[in-house]
Amino acid sequence: MSVTPDVYLGRQPILDRAQNVVAYELLFRSGDMTSSGVADDLLASANVIINTISQFGIDSVLGGQTGFLNVSEALLMSDALELLPPERIVLEILETVAVDDRLIDRCRELKEKGFRLALDDFTYHAMYDPMFELVDIVKLDLLAMDTKEVERTLQRLRQWPHLQLLAEKVEDHQHFQQCKELGFALFQGYFFARPTILAGKRANPNQLTLMKVLDQLMRDVEIPEIERTFKENPTLTLGLLRLVNSVAMGLQHKVGSVRQALVVLGRRQLQRWVQLLLYARSNGEIAGPLMTMAAVRARLMENLCRTLPGQGQKEEVVEQAFMTGILSLVDVVLGMPMEEVLRQFGLADEVRNAVLKKEGLLGQLLTLMAQVEAGEFGLVSDSLARLGLTVETFNKAQLEAIQWAANLDREIQG
C-alpha cells in the first residue's frame, strides 16, 4: 500500500439526526509539525492535498461516505482541485476566504462540475447573501456564539430553506438534543463517544449475557458452558452468527452454531466478535458510529503493536492491544462507570490499567488513538517518537484499520 510518508491523515465523523455517520471531515497535516496549533494553510499547497488524497485512496479513507475538505482561497482557485471526485467531496470554504465576484464565479463553476459547497465556521454578514444560492451546507460553531447570535443567524438562514445546517463541536448529548431542536440536520463532535452515566444503571439483558460470555472466553471455560450461556438469549446467538458469517474470513461453509463458531474460529477470534457485539444498538443493529470508532481503535492498536520494536512476536500483547481499543468505549454504550464495567471481566492488569489510567504501553497506544481522533497531530508526532514509530508506518497501519472497519460495516449491513 503506497502512502504519503510525511503527511498525517485525520478524519472526524459527521452524523445525521439518527446518529448515523454520513460523512467524514478530512484533516491533513505535515508530518514535520512540532505543534498541534500550527496553521500551515492546508499544507500550503493544493498539489500536496490532492496528491495525498490520491495516494491514500479516496475509498480507503472514506469507505462509502462523503468527505468534507477544508479549502483555503489558494486551494479553491486551484485547477488541481478538479482532480477530486466531485460526487464524493464537499468543499468547506474557510471563513478567511474573501467573498467577492471572483469567489462567487469560482463557486458557480465548481457547482456546475458537481461539487457540493459548505461555509465553515459561519458568522452571518450580508455579504454572504449572494453565496446562499450556491452553498449546500452551513457549519456553525455554537461554542463560539452566544444564544442571541445563534437565534439571529438561524432566522436569517431560514430564508434559504435548501440549506442544511451543521452544528460543529457538539460535545455532549444534551448539546446534541438542543441542536436538534434548533433545526440542525448534521452534527460534528464526539458527543456520541461521551458516556452518559446514570446512577444505579444496569446493563440490559443482551449486554449482561455478552459480558458473561466474554468473561467465560477470557477464563477459558469449557465450550458447553459457553453454549449454555448463549442459549439463554437466542437473539444474541443469531446476532453472533450473523456477525461471524459476515466476516467469515474465506470460510467455505456458513457457521451454523456457537459450538461450530468456537471450533472453526477459535476462542480468541470469537472473543473479538463478542466484544464488537457489545456495541450493538438497542434495536439490534450492530453497526454504528461507536462500533466503527472502537473497531478502528482496536485494529490500529493491534497493527501498531505488531510493528513496535520488540513487540512484533508477542501475540498476547497484540491481543491485549485489540481488546484495549474495543473496551475503551464500552462505558459509553453501557452508560456505566468504566471501573464498574471492567470489574465484570477477568482482565489482565495491563489492559485494565491502560483503559482506566492510560498507563503502560497499551495506555500510550490508547492515548495516541485519542490524539489522532481529535486531530492533535503535534501530539501524535510526539507519541510516535516515544513509541519508536515512523509516520509512514503509522499511516499504513491506520489505513488498514480504516479499511478493516469499513469492510466490517459493509459486510454487516450487506
In the chain, domain spans: 7-193, 205-413
* pLDDT at residue 87, as a whole number: 93
Quote the Cα angle for 123-27-175, to 5°.
Answer: 50
Task: Tell me the fold of 7-193.
Answer: TIM Barrel (3.20.20)
Cell of 173: 448529548
* pLDDT at residue 315, as a whole number: 83
β-pair type (21-30, 116-119): unpaired
| Tens place of pLDDT per residue across the chain (414 aa) | 444 446 788 889 999 999 999 999 988 776 654 433 333 444 444 555 666 677 677 887 887 889 999 888 888 888 878 888 899 999 999 888 889 999 999 999 999 999 999 999 998 888 899 999 999 999 999 888 888 888 899 999 999 999 999 999 998 899 999 999 999 999 999 898 887 766 656 667 777 888 888 888 888 888 888 888 888 877 777 777 776 776 555 566 777 887 887 777 778 877 887 888 888 765 555 567 888 899 999 999 999 999 987 755 578 899 899 999 999 999 988 888 999 888 888 888 999 999 999 999 999 999 999 999 988 888 999 999 999 999 889 988 998 999 888 877 766 655
Spatial separation of the C-alpha atoms in residues 89 and 114, rounded to whole Å: 9
Place of cell 475503551: 328
Q: What is the chain's percent helix, strand, coil content, to nearest 5?
A: 55, 10, 35
Is the domain defined by 205-413 classed in CATH 1.10.150.20? no
User: Rounded to 5 degrees, what are φ and ψ at 249?
Assistant: 55, 40
Of the candidates 250, 278, 275, 279, the residue with the CA atom closest to the CA atom of residue 264: 250
Of the candidates 48, 61, 126, the residue with the CA atom closest to the CA atom of residue 395: 61
CA 59 to chain centre: 15
Spatial separation of the C-alpha atoms in residues 319 and 329, rounded to whole Å: 17
β-pair type (7-15, 21-30): antiparallel
Cell of 245: 458469517
Residues 6+ apart with CB under 8 A from 226: 213, 216, 217, 258, 262
* pLDDT at residue 162, as a whole number: 94
* pLDDT at residue 277, as a whole number: 80
> Which amino acid does the sequence have at 146?
D
Residue 124's Cβ-side half-sphere holds a number of Cα atoms within 13 Å equal to 17
The answer to whether residues 402 and 61 touch, using CB atoms and an 8 Å cutoff, is: yes
